């Protein structure tokens, strides 16, 4: 391998590793989450004035917020959860729109992604109750879920629950990333006159350095450590989760499992699931359930929050 290529390659790998190291140190040493009180006290009610998307952000479970919001809307009578059995196959889960009710603006945007704005507006006008089986709508719901989770992340910073980006960490990681790609490109160009295997190894090592740099930069850009207030709220949410996991375990567990969740009587071929449980949505947001989160989790394919 030519000397210039080797030096450039070493620079690329070092800069990429440095970007990843900066990301690690910013999370562990320089800017970690506040420790709070270090004590979790059992809570019987969710924090006042805290929405599910904000709570999920503080707890670090943003992908559960959209599904938890749907369950909350069902509990409030805005929608209801239905299922349709297709022979012996697994039942198809759907969402039936009832009325706008007291839905907030973010909740209405989520409803629009599920049903379509025109369909929902027509239902409000004529009193129909359309059902969305999410066929062809999941991408739209995914996008809206990510947008709402991103808004909640900004809200957490604005409310002082999380700290903003560290300019020093971002600029240093970005500089390392830029240096990695420039040095990697130089290394590949300088190795152009070498044999095939030397060129291949150089390209692979340059790509490895670039991957480290990109990973480090992404981690730095996504790092929003909890402040003291955020840590105290997180402890409140953990206290509520402890209560739900113990005192309400049997009830919540029955509702979480789609096989044992109660159905409304005489609901016909399309079964209507009873979800009038005030804390069911919070159980999902706090990570206690399995079945509901698997069926009503949105945003995973575009997780950028």
What are the counts of helices (DSSP H) followed by strands (DSSP E) for the chain? Answer: 12, 4
**What does the pLDDT look like over 55-64, one tens digit per residue?**
999 988 888 8
Q: Do residue 146 and residue 272 come from a single domain?
A: yes
When divided into structural domains, the chain yields a total of 2
Q: Do residue 177 and residue 248 come from a single domain?
A: no
From CA 152, how far away is CA 140, in angstroms rounded?
A: 18
Q: Do residue 292 and residue 263 come from a single domain?
A: yes
Host domain of residue 111: 33-164+224-298
Q: Do residue 90 and residue 66 come from a single domain?
A: yes
Q: Do residue 3 and residue 113 come from a single domain?
A: no
Straight-line distance from the first to the last Cα atom of the chain, in angstroms, rounded to the nearest whole number: 42
Q: Do residue 76 and residue 188 come from a single domain?
A: no
Close Cβ partners of 75 (under 8 Å, ≥ 6 residues apart):
275, 276, 277, 278, 280, 281
* Cβ atoms 252, 288 nearer than 8 A: yes
**What does the pLDDT look like over 53-86, one tens digit per residue?**
999 999 888 888 888 899 899 888 899 888 776 6
Grouping H, G, I as helix, E, B as strand and the rest as coil, residue 303 is coil
- Of the listed ranges 143-152, 253-262, 265-274, 295-304, the least confidently predicted one is 295-304
The answer as to whether 305 is a domain residue is no
Residue among 242, 235, 286 nearest 36 (CA): 235
Task: Supply 201's token pair.
Answer: 């190894």
Q: What is the pLDDT confidence band of residue 11, given thresholds at 50, 70 and 90?
A: confident
pTM, to two decimals: 0.74
Grouping H, G, I as helix, E, B as strand and the rest as coil, residue 88 is coil
CB-count burial class (<10 Å; 0-12, 13-18, 19+) for 161 = buried
What is the full DSSP assignment across 93-152? EEEEE---TT--HHHHHHHHHHH-HHHHHHHHHH----EE--TTTHHHHHHHHHHHHHHH
Task: Supply 226's token pair.
Answer: 């909890």
The answer as to whether 303 is a domain residue is no
CB-count burial class (<10 Å; 0-12, 13-18, 19+) for 180 = buried
Q: Do residue 194 and residue 289 come from a single domain?
A: no
Q: Do residue 152 and residue 42 come from a single domain?
A: yes
From CA 305, how far away is CA 302, in angstroms rounded?
A: 9
Q: Do residue 5 and residue 93 come from a single domain?
A: no
Q: What is the pLDDT confidence band of residue 22, given thresholds at 50, 70 and 90?
A: confident
The answer as to whether 88 is a domain residue is yes
The answer as to whether 304 is a domain residue is no
From CA 43, how far away is CA 250, in angstroms rounded?
A: 18
Close Cβ partners of 303 (under 8 Å, ≥ 6 residues apart):
62, 63, 146
């Amino acid at each position: 391998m030519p000397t210039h290529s080797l030096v450039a390659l070493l620079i690329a790998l070092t800069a990429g590793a440095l970007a990843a190291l900066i990301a690690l140190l910013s999370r562990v040493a320089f800017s970690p989450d506040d420790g709070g009180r270090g004590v979790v006290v059992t809570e019987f009610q969710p924090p006042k004035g805290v929405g599910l998307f904000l709570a999920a952000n503080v707890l670090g479970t943003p992908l559960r917020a959209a599904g938890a919001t749907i369950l909350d809307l069902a509990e409030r009578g805005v929608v209801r959860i239905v299922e349709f059995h297709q022979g012996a196959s697994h039942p198809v889960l759907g969402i039936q729109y009832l009325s706008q009710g007291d839905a907030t603006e973010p909740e209405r945007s989520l409803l629009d992604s599920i049903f379509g704005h025109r369909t929902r507006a027509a239902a409000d006008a004529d009193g129909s109750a359309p059902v969305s089986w999410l066929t062809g709508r999941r991408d739209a719901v995914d996008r809206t879920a990510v947008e709402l989770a991103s808004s909640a992340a900004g809200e957490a910073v604005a409310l002082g629950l999380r700290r903003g980006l560290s300019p020093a960490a971002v600029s240093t990681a970005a500089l390392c990333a830029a240096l990695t790609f420039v040095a990697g490109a130089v290394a590949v160009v300088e190795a152009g006159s070498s044999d095939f295997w030397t060129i291949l190894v150089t390209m692979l090592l340059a790509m490895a350095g670039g991957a480290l740099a990109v990973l480090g930069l992404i981690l730095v850009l996504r790092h929003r450590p909890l402040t003291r207030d955020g840590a105290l709220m997180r402890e409140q949410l953990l206290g509520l989760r402890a209560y739900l996991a113990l005192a309400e375990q049997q009830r919540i567990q029955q509702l979480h499992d789609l096989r044992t969740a109660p159905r409304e009587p005489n609901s016909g071929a399309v079964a209507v699931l009873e979800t009038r449980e005030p804390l069911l949505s919070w159980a999902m947001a706090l990570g206690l359930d399995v079945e509901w989160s698997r069926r009503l989790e949105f945003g995973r394919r575009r997780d950028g929050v």
